[in-house]
Amino acid sequence: QHITLLAPLTTWTLTFLCGTGHVVYTMFPIIADIALKKNIRPERPMAVASVASQMAITASPVSVAVVSLVSILGAQHGVGEAWSILEILAVSVPASLFGVLVAALWSLRRGKDLQDDEAFQARLRDPKQREYIYGGSETLMNQRFDKHAWWSTWIFFAAIALVVLLGALPALRPAFEVKGKIAPLSMNLVIQMMMLIAGAVMLVVCKVNAASISSGAVFKAGMVAIFSVFGVAWMSDTFFQAHLNELKLALEGVVKSHPWTYAIVLFLVSKLVNSQAAALTAVAPMGLMLGVEPKMLVAFFPASYGYFVLPTYPSDLACIGFDRSGTTRIGKFILNHSFILPGLIGVSCACAASYLLVQLFF
């Protein structure tokens, strides 16, 4: 009965641990099934759960967005003092979680109850539609898991803990000479190496059937994401780099006089590139060049999630597809879809909380 609050917290936690919102696909059928069994409008938990899975990217210690921001800020914080991954997470984790909670609370009463929804009741009058809506069961309740599944979970957690440790203490990472300066190994490479090592250990220790990996839902979703998201992000980054001087001149006056407009630019660019990390890579260095304070980049970090504005992201489309009730949908005017209001509420509240934390403690 509390699925509208618990679903977004679950998907937020999954992304927080894994560093990517694409792990959420396995949760959608379970959320929809529980909502229908409890006679709760599935749109309420499902839409905010999809939004929460993407908002957690700015809070995850193993996400490319967080590592990108750490790399971009470099030694900009203070005099020779860099923003560490722990300092950024100290702001982004509570801010992101606050935004998700506010969006979830708003979702508790959104839309009509199922018994009062004329469109839903009309579908139920068709026996085939009723069987389709109420016939399936996707929950994992009362299922027992092999001990190797638990081993793989703890191996994964250990890899995440190691990534956070290496990010917080750069001295532990191997250092190499780059352009005449000694620099620790990039966190981008550290994350890739730790995750690949964890995967290799799981294959050896946990008796994984390697042939079945490519047929899993998460693997398929990841492959879709590589082509649908990375390709767009690469193209957009190329465009920004080619026209950086023109963009800098166009935005210089506005951003210098009103630093908060950096958040709007970041939000809009993230919609264009469909990636928080790519938006940060394109906009954050330009913001620093225009004189935006490094702490403002941290304060407006949640604004890097703007690709919910148009329902074209794979997780949003998957969410619509898994809702058998049809209540999670794209509206007649495209922008009036199920994710727009939870997204706007979540991102704006997260930005407000992040800005307040930065002003109070940094």
| 144 φ/ψ sector (left φ>0, alpha ψ -120 to 50, else beta) | beta
- pLDDT tens figures, 9-51: 999 998 998 787 877 877 888 898 899 889 999 999 999 999 9
Tell me: pLDDT of 251 over 80.
no
Tell me: pLDDT of 326 over 50.
yes
Longest distance between any two alpha carbons in the chain, whole Å: 73
- pLDDT tens figures, 79-107: 345 678 888 999 999 999 999 999 999 99
Work out the mean pLDDT of the chain and round it to a whole number: 84
- pLDDT tens figures, 187-222: 778 878 988 999 999 999 998 888 888 877 667 766
How many C-alpha atoms does 152 have within 13 Å on its Cβ side? 13
Q: Are 14 and 24 in contact (CB under 8 A)?
A: yes
Q: What per-residue string of b and e applies to 23-61 under the rule 16 or more CB within 10 Å gives b?
A: bbbebbbbbbbbbbeeebbbbbbbbbbbbbbbbbbbbbb
* SS3 state at 140: coil
- pLDDT tens figures, 272-293: 778 898 888 888 888 888 888 8
pLDDT computed for residue 77 by the predictor: 46
- pLDDT tens figures, 287-312: 888 888 888 899 999 999 998 998 87
Pair of tokens at residue 340: 């727009």
pTM: 0.77
